[in-house]
Amino acid sequence: LADLIPKEQARIKTFRQQHGKTVVGQITVDMMYGGMRGMKGLVYETSVLDPDEGIRFRGFSIPECQKLLPKAKGGEEPLPEGLFWLLVTGHIPTEEQVSWLSKEWAKRAALPSHVVTMLDNFPTNLHPMSQLSAAVTALNSESNFARAYAQGISRTKYWEQRSTEISTEKAAVLGPLTLTWTGLTISPTC
What tens digit of pLDDT does each residue of 12-71 get? 999 999 999 999 888 888 888 887 777 777 787 888 887 788 899 999 999 999 999 999
Cα dihedral: 59, 169, 185, 66 (round 10): 10
pLDDT confidence bin for 171, thresholds 50/70/90: low
Per-residue model confidence (pLDDT) at position 72: 94
For the stretch 136-161, pLDDT in tens is: 888 888 777 778 888 887 767 666 65
Instruction: 45-54: list long-range contacts, CB under 8 Å, 24+ apart.
Output: 45/90, 46/87, 46/88, 47/87
Percent of the chain with pLDDT over 70: 81
pLDDT band at 174 (very low <50, low <70, confident <90, very high): low
Confidence grade of residue 190 (pLDDT, cut at 50, 70, 90): very low
Beta strands in 51-137 (DSSP E): 54-57, 60-61
Strand partners of residue 54: 50
CB 106 within 8 A of CB 147: no
Residue 163 or residue 76, greater confidence: 76
What mean pLDDT value characterizes the chain?
Answer: 82
Of 176 and 131, the structure prediction assigns the larger pLDDT to: 131
174: closest CA among 123, 90, 105, 114? 105
